[in-house]
A = this chain, B = another copy of it.
């Protein structure tokens, strides 16, 4: 097989580094360009010393990259700047975008949540939302995949199949989600200092987090009607990991066991999604560093309610791992290629 020449745009952040961790052992993709405009000229091993053992191209600015020699682009740029960059890439390049720029189909919703008009609405129409397990056929044919956000991945994997099957009600879904600090990126902010985060927890973005419309888009598609969700994220004193505790109302005649059974059936052969047996409790430590998503289903004591719990690594299945999973599909490769690493515990 010919090597697939690969660029990572925005390689000086954590999702870029996480892609490199997987690509370093991937038999098909070869990283030939790494960009970071403000760190152009630096060695990757200077920016991320843990890669000192790898042979990697130095960081360059995006305009220094000759994209005619590039087959695959992982785009890890900040929200907002991504649209312009991807618009200029040659049509021959396949793109997986880890930003939020192409996730929302409705550009008006985008404008409302992101504070400016979408700069590439035509391109947006071609983007495929890359929740891998639930959109394989479209992803295989896509040229541009919008990689889902971390919270939306953790929420939609358990919810979408149940909504599609009509097993839960669409009008009373509450998601309390918790994320490790790496989700905030590597920018130097007081709020993310060790001293501000360690040994403490708090919610943030209550009723106003940008992942809410993304979740609602997917759930609405699944339910065939408009779905509003109550979504409250919390910051956790840990590097990685994301847990969503989701409160749902089963449809009439449906109990928690039926929900578990349905999810188990749907995800039975999935390499990365595992529905735990009765009593099994998802814990983020059991997916750390891996592309796994664990799902648990529980009867609630309150009649008419059930609880879904999902656990992922926010940087892997919630970002770079799913991106590689998607890119594997886009190039016709085995979906698990380069991704079959075990979790790191402890």
Residues of A at the B interface (CB closer than 8 Å) are 14, 17, 20-21, 24-25, 48-54, 174, 176, 178, 180-182, 186-190, 192-204, 206-208, 212, 228-232, 234, 236-241, 243, 245, 247, 271, 274, 276, 280-290, 292, 294, 298-303, 305, 307, 309, 311, 340-346
Contact = CB atoms under 8 A, between A and B. Distances in A.
A346 B234 contact: no
A201 B309 CA distance: 12
Contacts of A54: 342
Contacts of A193: 181, 186, 188-189, 192-194
A210 to B, nearest CB: 12
Given A53-B274, A307-B232, A14 B346 contact: yes
Contacts of A299: 207
A49 B283 contact: yes
A198 B194 contact: yes
B201 A236 contact: yes
A307 B50 contact: no
Contacts of A239: 194-195, 198-199, 346
Contact of A236 (B21, B237, B307, B342): B237
A199 to B, nearest CB: 4
A300 B207 contact: yes
Contact of A307 (B52, B230, B286, B290): B230
A237 B237 CA distance: 7
Contacts of A25: 340-342
Number of copies: 4
Contacts of A53: 271, 274, 290, 292, 342
Contacts of A236: 201, 236-237
Nearest to A282: B202
Contacts of A283: 49, 200-202
Given A186-B190, A234-B178, A344-B344, A307 B195 contact: no
28 contacts: A17-B345, A24-B342, A25-B342, A50-B345, A52-B276, A52-B286, A53-B290, A53-B342, A174-B174, A174-B247, A178-B201, A182-B195, A186-B193, A188-B188, A194-B198, A196-B346, A199-B239, A200-B284, A202-B311, A203-B245, A206-B281, A228-B301, A228-B303, A230-B307, A236-B236, A237-B238, A239-B346, A289-B289
A32 to B, nearest CB: 18
B285 A203 contact: no
A20 B286 CA distance: 14
Contacts of A271: 53
Contact of A240 (B48, B182, B199): B199
Contacts of A292: 53
A206 to B, nearest CB: 5
Given A20-B342, A212-B301, A300-B207, A241 B192 contact: no
Nearest to A286: B50
A20 B343 CA distance: 11
Contact of A199 (B197, B280, B288): B288
Contacts of A311: 202
A206 B243 CA distance: 14
A50 B194 CA distance: 17
Interface centre among A190, A192, A247, A344 (most CB of B within 10 A): A344
